[in-house]
Amino acid sequence: MTSGPAATTGTETSTESPYDLAPQTLRTRDLIDRDAKSVWHPFTQHQLWVDDVPIVVDRAEGVWFWDTDGRRYLDGVSSLWVNVHGHRTQEIDDAIRRQLGQLDHTTFLGLTHEPGIELAEKLLATAPTGLTKAFFGGDGASSVEAAIKMAFQACAQRGQDRPLYVHVAEGYHGDTLGAVSVGGIDLFHHTYRPILLDTQMVSSPGVLGPGQTRAHRAREVLDELAALLAREGDRVCAIVIEPMVQAAGGILTHHESFLTGVRALCDQSGAYLICDEVATGLGRTGRMWAVEHAGVSPDLMTCGKGLTAGYLPLSAVLATDDVYDAFLGAPGSGRTFFHGHSYTANPLCAAAAIANLDLMAANSTVAHANRVGELMGEWLEPLLALDGVREIRRIGTMTGIEVEPRGERTGFEICQEARRHGVWIRPLGDVVVLMPILAISDADLRLLVDVTSHAIQTVVR
Ligand SMILES: *Cc1c(COP(=O)(O)O)cnc(C)c1O
């Protein structure tokens, strides 16, 4: 069933019998052929797709998945930052099956159901103080879209004309146009600038000058933000940030004083604070919510990715009474939030999310994740002695290892090397990202760290 690297005890690095990347079986070759003919993948340059040899995933269990040639891979980035307890976790499988036997789907427009209600209650019970209402969406981007519309409309319905958003360089909030408008990653976003919302961008608190501390950088960007708000503050409906770490920007961590500072500036200027916790939420930073690191409560908070533990698409915006109340009025007042989706609060997704939250509580997943993060910090530290390693940035389990480029696709080549040793990771440019499944065991984490370290040494030495 499995070939190549076997489960390890933590001392082996599984470098003995590297995988040949080429497809081995007729079935795999056929699937890659058919894929190339009919499928357009996200964030993928299809000119390179087949030459880079895509992995055709066949099945998964725990922190592992298998390709159609029977090779096993450790899922080192939680299937792009979504998985929490492992693939095919019994409790979540069961919850979805139970829900299937009861109610598949009805609209949430004009109807309600127990899974939707229970999930709102359970999610809000974990949330920072002041967040009292949950509005559901599908993907992370759709929660950001809803949040930015809510902020604008709430202001408008309080008689304030505030059509401007403030966001942060290197930020990422998803790929729909509203979310792209508040994004700050040139490579992804600059193409669309002519068709985006009116925004103002401040510098990234995670991009440091030479020798600069994160605390000093936070102060510098806060000064920039304060100056911007002094000019335009009464036109700004919301400031949109990724709390504690700009994830897709390259795991750019910042000092928690940035969050408290932005909160204070929002209060002064009357702009809402939108914290996008799509990546950071649900334990990924070693706290349930990243804003807890700074003790900050946003006016609107988005979550997604880990919400269903990596099973099904579901996101949410959590809102304060202040935002919610701005939408109350007579039917003819036009104060309704005219926004929703066909599958809003889908019961199967909600059932998965409830089971996820229950399991996180039962297994103390957040505390475990915090410890996983500390172990990663300790075990990765020797890499800093390598010439080609510039910086290791980490908060909780969210880890980025920035390497010096050796050609055009250094990060990618490191990941291909890791793949030869049974570990699947995906880079952000020259940043090697590790984002382990939160419930990972020490032995599997050791393998992830050892193979990644080996791959970096092989490519950047
Ligand atoms: C991934 C991500 C999103 C977008 O979520 P999707 O589910 O991919 O639409 C939004 N915000 C942040 C911070 C993210 O990391």
- Does residue 1 register a pLDDT over 70? no
What interhelical angle do 114-126 and 347-362 show, nearest 10?
A: 40
Q: Which atom of ligand 1 is nearest to the CA of 242?
A: 13
Helices (H), 328-431: 347-362, 365-380, 410-420
Taking residues 246-273, what's their average pLDDT? 98
pLDDT band at residue 8 using 50, 70 and 90 as cut-offs: very low
Rg for the chain (alpha carbons), in Å? 22
Residues with CB under 6 A from ligand 1: 139-141, 144, 172-174, 242, 247-248, 276, 278-279, 304-305
Using the CB atoms, write b or e for 259-268: b if 16+ within 10 Å: bbbbbebbee
Q: Which atom of ligand 1 is nearest to the CA of 80?
A: 1
pLDDT band at residue 6 using 50, 70 and 90 as cut-offs: very low
Q: Across all residues in the chain, what is the average pLDDT?
A: 96
Q: Which atom of ligand 1 is nearest to the CA of 277?
A: 13
The amino acid present at 234, given as its one-letter code, is D
Token duo for residue 34: 């058919």
Residue whose CA is closest, atom 12 of ligand 1?
A: 173
Domains of the chain and any CATH numbers = 26-88+365-460 (3.90.1150.10), 106-345 (3.40.640.10)
Read off the pLDDT of residues 67-109 as tens digits, 9 standing for 90 and up.
Answer: 999 999 999 999 999 999 999 999 999 999 999 999 999 999 9
pLDDT band at residue 17 using 50, 70 and 90 as cut-offs: confident
The confidence score (pLDDT) of residue 16 equals: 56
Read off the pLDDT of residues 333-368 as tens digits, 9 standing for 90 and up.
Answer: 999 999 999 999 999 999 999 999 999 999 999 999
pLDDT band at residue 2 using 50, 70 and 90 as cut-offs: very low
Percent of the chain residues past pLDDT 70, beyond the cut: 97
CB 152 within 8 A of CB 160: no
Could you tell me which of 351, 354, 363, 380 has the C-alpha nearest to residue 439?
A: 363
Furthest-apart CA atoms within the chain: distance in Å = 71
The amino acid present at 370, given as its one-letter code, is N
Residue whose CA is closest, atom 15 of ligand 1?
A: 279
What is the total residue count of the chain? 461
pLDDT band at residue 61 using 50, 70 and 90 as cut-offs: very high
Could you tell me which of 202, 165, 170 has the C-alpha nearest to residue 181?
A: 165
Using the CB atoms, write b or e for 421-443: b if 16+ within 10 Å: bbbbbbbbbbbbbbbbbbbbbee
Read off the pLDDT of residues 23-42 as tens digits, 9 standing for 90 and up.
Answer: 999 999 999 999 999 999 99
Using the CB atoms, write b or e for 57-77: b if 16+ within 10 Å: eeebebbbbbbbbebbbbbbb
The amino acid present at 209, given as its one-letter code, is G
- Does residue 443 register a pLDDT over 90? yes
DSSP conformation letters of 323-334: HHHTT---GGG-
Q: Phi, psi (5° rounding) for residue 394?
A: -155, 140
Residue 279 DSSP code = T
Residue whose CA is closest, atom 10 of ligand 1?
A: 173
The confidence score (pLDDT) of residue 12 equals: 44
**Quick one: 251 exposed, middle or buried, by C-beta within 10 A (0-12, 13-18, 19+)?**
buried
The confidence score (pLDDT) of residue 288 equals: 98
The confidence score (pLDDT) of residue 58 equals: 98
The neighbour count for residue 49, using CB atoms within 10 Å, is: 16
Read off the pLDDT of residues 116-167 as tens digits, 9 standing for 90 and up.
Answer: 999 999 999 999 999 999 999 999 999 999 999 999 999 999 999 999 999 9
Taking residues 246-260, what's their average pLDDT? 98
Q: From the CA of 144, how far away is ligand 1's center (Å)?
A: 8
Partnered with residue 20 across adjacent β-strands are none
Q: From the CA of 140, how far away is ligand 1's center (Å)?
A: 4
Residue 374 DSSP code = H
| Residue 86, CA distances (Å) to 65, 76, 92, 104, 457 in order | 10, 11, 10, 24, 28
Token duo for residue 38: 């009919």
CB 17 within 8 A of CB 4: yes
Q: Which atom of ligand 1 is nearest to the CA of 247?
A: 15
The neighbour count for residue 91, using CB atoms within 10 Å, is: 15
Read off the pLDDT of residues 379-403 as tens digits, 9 standing for 90 and up.
Answer: 999 999 999 999 999 999 999 999 9
Q: Which atom of ligand 1 is nearest to the CA of 175?
A: 9
Cα distance between residue 249 and residue 207, in whole Å: 10
Read off the pLDDT of residues 184-201 as tens digits, 9 standing for 90 and up.
Answer: 999 998 999 999 999 999
Residue whose CA is closest, atom 5 of ligand 1?
A: 140
H or E stretch at 131: strand 131-137
Cα distance between residue 232 and residue 201, in whole Å: 12
Cα distance between residue 296 and residue 332, in whole Å: 36
| Residue 85, CA distances (Å) to 3, 7, 155, 286, 439 in order | 25, 18, 40, 14, 5
What's the gap between Cα 452 and its chain centre? 21
CB 394 within 8 A of CB 253: yes
The confidence score (pLDDT) of residue 9 equals: 39
Could you tell me which of 129, 1, 139, 140 has the C-alpha nearest to residue 64?
A: 1
Residue whose CA is closest, atom 6 of ligand 1?
A: 140
Cα distance between residue 76 and residue 209, in whole Å: 30
Q: From the CA of 279, how far away is ligand 1's center (Å)?
A: 6
Residue 18 DSSP code = P
H or E stretch at 200: strand 199-202
- Does residue 5 register a pLDDT over 50? no
The confidence score (pLDDT) of residue 461 equals: 81
- Does residue 19 register a pLDDT over 70? yes
